[in-house]
């Protein structure tokens, strides 16, 4: 009997089990970091535009209905699922569903990144980045309105991966379609599709290079098709928000003060005040060390890994820059002051920081797995980067301030809303949320 196929299936099952376990851990950590009040409070579009569209248009027509110039498929799917449950569960169900997306991303990255980050300590941390990024709980984690940032983190790994099997290729393509139909900025990573079509890791698998590149066709087609739909929507749909007026100097300074510095100090106000008093050295020195290690990793890394170092590092600044350019945000970060220290974290800082963490872990994997002689320092550098990420993320992982920390808790209002609806079953009732309230049909509350 040939034991090789059985051994291969056993190894694949073991890897899949680890990936699923990491996904469950990431989802649980994301939910824990939010706290009970935040989990129970509906946020922004979740109680506003997405819920209004779901009620007005129904579960199908609302899915690809444009909002703010874009398509938001996965957030609207989450709203559909939560709205199908008893109304009092809506906010918690939506928050847990968004945390579940973090878990799905962690599971997927564990598998998709293995060719670029084969060193398991770095890859485990990479998978957990969306759950552990220090500024995540403040606004991004646990709500459908911001789940697109988690999907954006998944995009580069989906686009570049060469599937080993046709079933894997189908899952990869389906996930890519969900990502690009939910996050327009995924188009930034479309050039990485070339890596899926070039000779690569699948040359070592049955069928060789040609079959691996053929299996990349579904993800290429769906990623390009979904991106085209997003671009057409953006061009043809009115966007109410005015473009921002921030200059390049303020954007770069803000990137250093919020996404970058928040990786080790989530109190961004304290960072601004420190820079205002003591100068930029407190930020630029650690950034300079990180840049040197990223360059060192690029020197010793395989060519695919170099592309990911470039993509994730560039994405960190690009996501921040695009957000400040597309939205009316203008903060004079280039001139830190005491008053500037009162500016809270922007939601764009969390995904920007997540990509910088990803670049750091890709670099750690490249350095630690470098096989040439005389590279002890490189491996020490890899372990040092992993240690820094562990300290920065786990040290700041405890539940902290969020924009929903003061409620109002959705479920606490439902009983009173039902009483009001008993008097007018055909009317509507307002359920408070943060910062926008929801208008709920009484028919959902009194069962008529």
Helical axes 166-180 vs 147-160, angle rounded to 10°: 140
Instruction: For residue range 95-131, list pLDDT tens digits in order.
Output: 999 999 999 999 999 999 999 999 999 999 999 999 9
Buried b (16+ CB within 10 A) or exposed e, 25-53: bbbebbbebbbeebbbbbbbbbbbbbbeb
Please tell me the predicted confidence (pLDDT) of residue 400: 86
**Whole-angstrom Cα distance, residue 240 to residue 99?**
29
The vertex-184 CA angle with 178 and 186, nearest 5°, equals 70
**Whole-angstrom Cα distance, residue 345 to residue 303?**
35
Spans of all domains in the chain:
8-394, 410-446
Please tell me the predicted confidence (pLDDT) of residue 205: 53
**Whole-angstrom Cα distance, residue 133 to residue 136?**
5
Instruction: For residue range 374-430, list pLDDT tens digits in order.
Output: 467 677 778 888 888 888 888 888 898 999 999 999 999 998 999 999 988 889 999
| Locus of tokens 């899949």 | 16
Q: pLDDT tens digits, the chain, 448 residues: what are they?
A: 334 455 556 666 678 889 999 999 999 999 999 999 999 999 999 999 999 999 999 999 999 999 989 999 999 999 999 999 999 999 999 999 999 999 999 999 999 999 999 999 999 999 999 999 999 999 999 999 999 999 999 999 999 999 989 999 999 999 999 999 999 999 999 999 999 998 776 655 555 556 778 999 999 999 999 999 999 999 998 777 666 667 899 999 999 999 999 999 999 999 999 999 999 998 999 999 999 989 999 998 999 999 999 999 999 999 999 998 888 788 899 999 888 888 999 999 999 999 999 999 999 999 887 765 446 767 777 888 888 888 888 888 889 899 999 999 999 999 899 999 998 888 999 999 999 999 999 999 986 5
Supply the pTM of this predicted model: 0.93
Instruction: For residue range 4-14, list pLDDT tens digits in order.
Output: 455 556 666 67
């Amino acid at each position: 009997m040939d034991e090789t196929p059985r051994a291969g299936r056993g190894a694949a099952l073991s890897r899949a089990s680890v990936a699923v376990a990491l996904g469950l851990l990431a989802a649980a950590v994301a939910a824990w970091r939010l706290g009970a009040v935040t989990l129970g409070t509906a946020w922004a579009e979740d109680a506003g535009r997405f819920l209004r569209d779901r009620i007005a248009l129904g579960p199908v027509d609302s899915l690809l209905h444009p909002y703010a110039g874009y398509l938001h498929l996965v957030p609207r799917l989450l709203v559909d699922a939560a709205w199908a449950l008893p109304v009092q569960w809506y906010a918690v169900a939506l928050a847990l569903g968004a945390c579940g997306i973090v878990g799905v991303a962690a599971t997927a990255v564990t598998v998709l990144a293995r060719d670029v980050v084969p060193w398991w300590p770095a890859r485990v941390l990479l998978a957990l980045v969306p759950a552990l990024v220090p500024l995540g709980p403040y606004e991004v984690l646990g709500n459908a309105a911001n789940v697109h940032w988690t999907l954006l983190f998944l995009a580069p790994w989906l686009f570049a991966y060469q599937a080993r099997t046709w079933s894997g290729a189908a899952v990869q393509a389906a996930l890519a379609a969900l990502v690009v139909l939910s996050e327009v900025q995924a188009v930034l990573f479309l050039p990485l599709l070339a890596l899926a079509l070039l000779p690569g890791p699948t040359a070592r698998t049955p069928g060789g290079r040609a079959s691996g590149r053929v299996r990349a066709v579904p993800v290429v087609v769906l990623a390009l098709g979904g991106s085209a739909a997003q671009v057409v929507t953006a061009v043809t749909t009115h966007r109410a928000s005015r473009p921002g007026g921030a200059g390049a100097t303020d954007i770069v300074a803000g990137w250093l003060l919020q996404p970058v510095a928040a990786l080790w100090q989530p109190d961004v106000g304290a960072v601004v005040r420190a820079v205002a008093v003591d100068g930029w050295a407190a930020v630029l020195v650690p950034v300079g060390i990180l840049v040197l290690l990223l360059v060192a990793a690029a020197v010793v890394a395989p060519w695919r890994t170099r592309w990911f170092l470039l993509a994730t590092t560039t994405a960190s600044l690009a996501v921040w820059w695009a957000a400040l350019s597309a939205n009316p945000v203008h903060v004079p970060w280039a001139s830190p002051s005491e008053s500037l220290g009162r500016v809270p974290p922007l939601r764009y800082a969390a995904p920007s920081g997540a990509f910088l963490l990803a670049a750091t872990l890709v670099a750690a994997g490249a350095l630690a797995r470098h096989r040439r002689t005389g590279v002890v320092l490189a491996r020490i550098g890899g372990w040092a980067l992993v240690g820094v990420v562990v300290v920065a993320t786990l040290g700041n992982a405890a539940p902290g301030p969020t924009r929903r920390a003061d409620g109002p808790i959705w479920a606490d209002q439902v009983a009173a809303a039902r009483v009001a609806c008993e008097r007018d079953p055909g009317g509507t009732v307002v359920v408070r949320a943060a910062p926008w309230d929801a208008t709920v049909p009484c028919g959902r509350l009194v069962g008529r």
